[in-house]
Structure 1
Amino acid sequence: MLTDAEKDSLREYYRAIADNLPGFRPRAAQRQMLATVANAFGSTLSKAEDSDDAPERNGESIAVIEGPTGVGKSLAYLLAGGVMAKSRGKKLVVTSATIALQEQLVNRDLPFAIEKSGLPATFALAKGRGRYLCPYRLYQLTADNAQGELIAQDPALALWERKPEQGEIEALRQLADAFYYRKWNGDRDSWPEMINDELWRRVTNDRHGCLKAGCPNRPECPFYLARETLETVDIVVANHDLMLADVAMGGGVILPAPENSFYCIDEAHHLAKKAVNQFAAEHSLAQAMAWLDKITPLATRVESLIDKPELASNACEAAAACMESLTEWLWLLQTEPSLEASSDNLEPSWLVEDGVLPESMKIPAANMALSARMLYKNLTGMSDGLGQLRKDKQQETLLIDKTSSDVGFMVGKCEQLMALWDLFEKEPEENAPPIAKWVTRRADGKGDYLFSASPVSAAGSLAATLWRRAAGAVLTSATLRSLGSFDLLLSQTGLKWLEQVQTVALDSPFNFSEQGELYVPPLLSTPKDPAGHTREIIDWLPKLVDLNEAVGTLVLFTSRKQMQEVAEGLAANLRERVQMQGELPKAVLLQNHRDALQAGRASVLFGLDSFSEGLDLPGEACVHVIIAKLPFAMPDDPVGRTLSRWIEKRGGNPFVELTVPEASIKLIQAVGRLIRTEQDYGRVTILDTRIVRQNYGKRLLAALPPFRRI
């Protein structure tokens, strides 16, 4: 419940924005969102005074808010969240799915909110460890940290699977010099040129390879310097992936602990799929065999340093057991018919039906999982032993640190191996969603296979690791409802199990019936006849696009093949006005589009799914959105196929339960490209008559903004 002081603060800061910003008009929906966020965070539960146990949370401090374009969502949640976080002694953690929104929050929205409101808040951008240089690794590979001179061309065996090329050595020298002379801060994103991924992996680090407080380069470590900054600020901006990774590790590892955080999760419609990806795992058979083969010489080095020979011996035995099991799997997979390569499919996949391994593979999977766990246990034991040795022994610290770093590298590799096989051997409980498991034959490398596994739903994991622990959370986006309901989002994120979660759909500030119109031309073909449908789109586009007006048109496709075929079939006078996704970088396409309009010429953008979301073309930059096809995403990936089959076996209909609801969200997002401000106008044209002829189409249509039908 909000205190009187909190209510007064919210009014004062919001009023200050109005006073400091000429032309500012308070919006009812924005005030409603601000109040909803504050009330949710004001309902947070605290520990009982006589107990150390965490309070039992049931969603009382969680709100799901759909805020259409124009509401001013970020200002509402930043202001309300900032006030409540400072008042309740929490950190405000703001996450987004895209880099674009992160940059907007850090570079525009937060400075604006703080300056205009007077809210005394500080903020910083949080990134994962993998975005930062590890100075110790870089100096290991190239230079002495005191003199900055190149010393070795034979880097650590564990870090390089092959001898580096001269160009790579030169690139490492440039990084080392720039960092040593403080011309670069060690943030990958601030390096002026693109750094090759393979090269970057050699000079970054993970939590296992990090020497932590024992590192000789700890005072200059970019990751730890950034993390120290996070501890001093009021508001932390991150992305969904980093937040999910942090809670998966127990919380409070990189970001503030969930119990001490109010989360504002923007672009929340991406959260469920991001979470599924976070809990997935994969590894290459050939690459695993390569690093497992290096365990014995590494264990021998460790044994010479620490007085625990059983750890080295057990690690060698476990690595040998892993290699033996993988060899058995190589033999088993050679007899699987669906993995036979052909000229039509060089990388075939085998999807394990319903996620249940054949009887002949259950014991090999269990053996592999057990061996991986034993290897992980002994590698971490070796790592702990080296850490203790460093504390006790002052001499040979360079050798100890070098070995510790190499062991940490192997621990990280083994963790991936263990994660995959823990999923691969697991069979879910009755009525629980299955785990998708599949193997892909790799075209590169003789006899190599990629093992993959993923839960089909992250609802249970999110409920346990985030929602029942967080002090409070707000999930928001312009589009959260599907077919007019929050049910899909609540189900996919696990919020449906928390009875007190509040859902709010804010009104749009736009007058859709006055600003826009909707047209469904009478096409004879549907997308079920791809060739006929494409021909009709080619015929209709010249009728729909007026090349005599300097206005913008956005044509959205679900298939790159159809987009290219339509472009090829257009008359020259229309084709020359088309800017097509994939021909140039997105930023260049959009700039060409704006330049053409400014020069008094009509311009047409052809785009795919990524143009249906986040593209902001206000005014006459987009007065016509043409949707070629209803955005049905058929479940042809392993996770989607496994989930669909599970739904069918339970008597459900995956098309009705998944495909149509998800298409509803995508269609609303696509239509949302048209009206971006209260002055915008235009038309949405849908070249798919199923939206008016099929029952599911009518449900999709009913969920769209109330445009005037023509």
Structure 2
Amino acid sequence: MLTDAEKDLLRDHYRAIADNLPGFRPRAAQRRMLAEIANAFGRALPVNAEGEAVERNGESIAVVEGPTGVGKSLAYLLAGGVMAKCRAKKLVVTSATIALQEQLVNRDLPFLIEKSGLELTFALAKGRGRYLCPYRLYQLTSDHAQGELLAPDPTLALWERKPEQAEIDALRQLSDAFYYRRWNGDRDTWSENIEDDLWRRVTNDRHGCLKAGCPNRAECPFYLARETLETVDVVVANHDLLLADVTMGGGVILPAPEHSFYCIDEAHHLAKKAVNQFAAEHSVAQAMGWLDKVAALATRVDALIDKPELSSNAIDAAGACMESLTEWLWLLQGEPSLEAASDNMEPSWLVEDGVLPEYMKIPAANMALSARSLYKNLSGMADALGALRKDKQQDALLLDKTNADAGFFVGKCEQLVALWDLFEKEPDEAAPPIAKWVTRRLDGKGDYVFSASPVSAAASLAATLWRRAAGALLTSATLRSLGNFDLLLSQTGLKWLPDTTCVALDSPFNFSEQGELYLPPLAATPKDPSAHTREIIDWLPRLIDSSEAVGTLVLFTSRKQMQEVAEGLDATLRERVLVQGELPKSVLLERHYTALKDGRASVLFGLDSFSEGLDLPGEACVHVIIAKLPFAMPDDPVGRTLARWIEKRGGNPFVELTVPEASIKLVQAVGRLIRTESDYGRVTILDNRIVRQSYGKKLLASLPAFRRI
């Protein structure tokens, strides 16, 4: 429960914003959101004597749909900041996009602190791969004591190939800038683009890191950044980093869930990002390549540590893995869907229902067992090297190099284990299946890629995040599907936490006054793509006045149709059209605004990414035209496996999955029109299924209350 002191703080800081911001108008929806978050976090349960969270059922979790204009970020930063400070928690704010993270750090948090008087410190959290590893850089650039390269002969540096002069020059620049502290080691703050191949040489992962034994630990940008996270009140991150952290057990990069209040913005992306996080894949050719080198590594390690059984077992396990993979190549030769075809250079075989044929189950189990054995022994070798590093300073360079190499193999083996653990696993009949598929690559020397992914991350999210978090807010402008939260709760696992609070806030906009909805009488259905495209080409000149200096946004679900429509327009309208993909997004938008400023009409053609997050207030967008309902048919391996599972249980994947997800996307697309209380305009939908099919009424009912014309 909220204490009186907490209530007073919330009121005082909110009132301070009103007093310090001329023209500020308190919004009922914003105040309600602030109250819902504070009340949820106020119900946070304490940890037990061992510091572990007691069983949670969602009492401190709130799901809040906050339409555009509510002021969501101010509400959750204020409520979350006050409650985190009062309850001695960290406030962890995550989003799906870099744009929102930058907005939070560069605008929203400084604004809140200045106007409300709430004292908060904050920092942006990034994954290890965004930071320089000084130890690796100094190895490549030789003598770091003077911040310069003293090894002009590239063969003296630690390359597996002769580096190009441009790479040597780039490393010199990085080394000098970091040594003299003109650069902090964050890739995103370097003034120029760093090529991915070069950056991979100077960054590190958790397996290759020497951790406390690293001679450059004190200046490591990653550890310095992580130490900063421990001192601030608010940590801003992305969904991927949050998911990676909880997958590793929580508290590895970000604050531990038990000590965190989470504000998860753009939460409609969370479920799919979680599915991707728990997926795994590996290439047979690449695996064979590094497995073949395990023996050489083991021999080097064996000469340094007094644990010969680790090296011997690692060599045996690597050999067993190679034998198993060779057997799999033989097994896959009989799979018809992987046969070479001139029109498909990457044929794929999807394991039906995620259940391997009987003759493949033992090979899968053997491969998983061998991979786990290899991982255990490689990890043991790395741990032994790390322990030895603390005692034998005279062998430091040799030990560090060997330890870093061992870490590389541990990381590769972890991917192998992740894939084969999923590939051999068969969930209970009532549980969602695991999608499993093999892709054959016919280019070059040829290769096979094994892939596996859960079709739902609900159980993992419930176990690793929701039942551990001190409290959580999930918010976005669009969380409901077909008028309810069922899809979100199901996909995120919150359906198993019955005390979760769900709230849909009212929009501050008067949609019936500000906008209108037009459904033209089209004859062609999108099921006849050619006829539908021709009809769109016919309708657009009637819908768009190319002589009026206002903006129009036309949204497509198919790049092919977007390009065909653009090519089919008459010259007068075509010269007003800016097509996504022909220029960078920033350039398109700049030209759009320039045209309007010069008194000319401008029309943006865009795909799915323009349906969300694109902010075109005022006359920059007075007409949103939707070419086709945003149905995403499950044609990927994960979607197909999930759809088949739903069918086998007597369900209808189109009704249960496709239509609800299309509803969310449609609302997001329509939401591009009204962005402020003074905006006006029209939404036109050029898909007659919305009036002819039974699901159309549900889709229309979920849209804002525009007046129909």
Distance 1:155 1:408, change over 3 A: farther
Question: Residue 285 of structure 1 corresponds to which residue in structure 2?
Answer: 284
Q: What TM-score, normalized to structure 1? A: 0.98
| Contact kept? 2:44, 2:59, Cα under 8 Å | yes
Kept in 2, the 8 Å contact 1:140–1:155? The answer is no
Q: Secondary structure at the match of 1:396?
A: helix
The answer to whether residue 502 in structure 2 is matched with residue 487 in structure 1 is no
- What residue is the counterpart of 1:559 in the other structure? 558
Q: Distance in 2 between matches of 1:111 and 1:549?
A: 40
Q: Is 2:80 aligned against 1:86?
A: no
Read off the aligned partner of 2:8 and give its amino acid letter. Answer: D
The one-letter code sitting in structure 2 at the alignment partner of 1:261 is S
CA 1:48–1:452: 2 relative to 1, 3 Å: closer
- Structure 1 residue identity aligned to 2:91: L
8 Å Cα contact 1:282-1:453 kept in structure 2: yes
* AA partner of residue 637 (structure 2): P
Deviation at 1:48, TM superposition (A): 4.7
- With 575-584 and 196-205 compared, the bigger mean Cα shift is at 196-205
Using the TM superposition, name which of 94-103 and 386-395 deviates more.
386-395
1:690 aligns with 2:684: no
CA distance in 2, matches of 1:339, 1:145: 51
What is the CA-CA distance between 1:52 and the residue it aligns to?
5.5
Question: Is structure 2 residue 2 aligned with structure 1 residue 2?
Answer: yes
Q: Distance in 2 between matches of 1:579 and 1:206?
A: 42
Alpha-carbon shift at residue 384 of structure 1 (Å): 0.8
Q: CA deviation at 1:155?
A: 7.7
Match of 1:183 in 2: 182
Once structures 1 and 2 are overlaid, which stretch shifts more, 176-185 or 693-702? 176-185
Distance 1:443 1:82 in 2: 54
Equivalent residue number for residue 428 of structure 1: 427
Unaligned runs of 5+ in 1: none
For the structure 1 residues 672 and 84, does the alpha-carbon distance in structure 2 shift closer, same or farther, using more than 3 Å as the test?
same
Alignment match, 1:153? 154
The residue number in structure 1 matching 2:15 is: 15
1:341 Cα deviation from its structure 2 partner: 2.3
Q: Is the 8 A contact 1:330 1:447 kept in 2?
A: no
Deviates more, 1:554-563 or 1:204-213: 204-213
1:618 matches 2:593: no
Q: How big is the shift at 1:163? A: 4.3
Instruction: Return the alpha-carbon distance in structure 2 between the equivalents of residues 378 and 402 of structure 1.
Output: 18
Deviations 1:343-371 (A, max 9, x none): 21111111111111112211111111111
- Counterpart position of 1:95: 94
Aligned residue number for residue 401 of structure 2: 402
Partner of 2:184, secondary structure, is: coil
1:120-168 superposed Cα distances (whole Å, 9 cap, x missing partner) = 11000000001111111122222322132153634888x75x5433433
Q: C-alpha separation between the residues in 2 aligned to 1:171 and 1:456? A: 43
| d(CA) in 1 for partners of 2:155, 2:438 | 35
Are the structure 2 counterparts of residues 442 and 142 from structure 1 closer, same or farther at C-alpha, using a change threshold of 3 Å?
farther
> AA paired with 2:549?
A
User: 2:643: which partner in 1?
Assistant: 644
- SS of structure 2 residue aligned to 1:490: helix
Deviation string, structure 1 residues 564-586 (Cα, Å, up to 9, x no partner): 00000000111111010000000
- 1: CA distance between counterparts of 2:417 and 2:157? 24
Structure 2 residue 321 is the aligned partner of structure 1 residue 318? no
Superposed displacement of residue 179, structure 1: 1.7
- Partner Cα distance (1:497, 1:156) in 2: 55
The structure 1 segments of at least 4 consecutive aligned residues displaced by more than 6 Å after TM superposition are: none
Kept in 1: contact 2:47–2:258 (CA 8 A) = no
Q: How does 1:520-599 map to 2 (within 5 A)?
A: 520-599=519-598
Asked if the contact 1:142/1:153 (under 8 Å) is kept, the reply is no
Match of 1:211 in 2: 210
Q: Distance in 1 between matches of 2:238 and 2:28?
A: 29
Q: Which residue of 2 aligns with 1:306?
A: 305
TM-score between both structures, scaled by the size of structure 2: 0.98
Question: Aligned partners of 1:176, 1:437: CA distance in 2, in Å?
Answer: 44
Q: Residues 481, 56 of structure 1: CA spacing in aligned structure 2 closer, same or farther, 3 A cutoff?
A: same
RMSD (Å) for aligned C-alpha atoms: 1.2
Structure 1 equivalent of residue 372 of structure 2: 373
CA 1:582–1:310 in structure 2 vs 1: closer, same or farther (change >3 Å)?
same
Q: Deviations over 1:37-62 (max 9, x none)?
A: 0000000001356x655311100000
Partner of 2:44: 44
Pair 1:121-2:120 in alignment: yes
Distance (Å, rounded) in 1 between the aligned partners of 2:383 and 2:361: 33
Output the CA distance in 1 between the equivalents of 2:143 and 2:315. Answer: 32
Structure-1 residue corresponding to 2:166: 167
User: Which range is displaced more, 21-30 or 338-347?
Assistant: 338-347
Aligned equivalents of 1:246, 1:341: Cα separation in 2: 40
Q: Percent identity?
A: 84
SS of match in other structure, 1:525: coil
- Which runs of 5 or more structure 2 residues have no equivalent in the other structure? none
Asked if structure 2 preserves the Cα contact closer than 8 Å seen for 1:141 and 1:153, the reply is no
CA distance in 1, matches of 2:460, 2:467: 10
Shift of 1:203: 1.4
- For the pair 1:673 / 2:672, whether they are aligned, the reply is yes
Tell me how far apart the structure 2 counterparts of residues 686 and 6 of structure 1 sit (CA, whole Å): 48
1:70 aligns with 2:69: yes
Comparing 247-256 and 324-333, the one that deviates more = 324-333
Q: How far off its partner does 1:410 sit?
A: 0.9
Q: Any idea what the Cα deviations from partners look like across 1:667-696, whole Å, max 9, x if unmatched?
A: 000000000000000000000011111110
Q: Deviations over 1:27-81 (max 9, x none)?
A: 00000000000000000001356x6553111000000000000000000000000
| Count of aligned pairs between the two proteins | 707
d(CA) in 1 for partners of 2:51, 2:461: 23
Superposed, 1:116-515 pairs within 5 Å as 116-147=115-146, 148-151=148-151, 153-154=154-155, 160=160, 162-515=161-514
CA offset at residue 413 of structure 1? 0.7
Q: CA deviation at 1:462?
A: 0.2
Deviation at 1:172, TM superposition (A): 2.5
Which amino acid in structure 2 is aligned with residue 590 of structure 1?
A: L
> 1:552-603: per-residue Cα shift (whole Å, max 9, x none)?
0000000000000000000011111101000000011001000000000000
CA 121–326 in structure 1, closer or farther in 2 if over 3 Å, else same: same
Structure 1 pair 170/359, CA: closer, same or farther in 2 (3 Å)?
farther
- Equivalent in the alignment of 1:30: 30
**Superposed CA offset, 1:647-673 (max 9, x none):** 000000000000000000000000000
Q: Is the 8 A contact 2:141 2:157 kept in 1?
A: no
**What is the distance in 2 between the residues matched to 1:86 and 1:350?**
53
* Partner residue in 2 for 1:61: 60
1:275-311 Cα offsets, whole Å, 9 max, x none, are: 0000000111111111111111111111111111111
Partner SS for 1:416: helix
Instruction: Evaluate the alpha carbon distance shift between residue 449 and residue 155 of structure 1 in structure 2; reply closer, same or farther with a 3 A threshold.
Output: farther
CA distance in 1, matches of 2:154, 2:442: 31
SS of corresponding position for 1:604 = strand
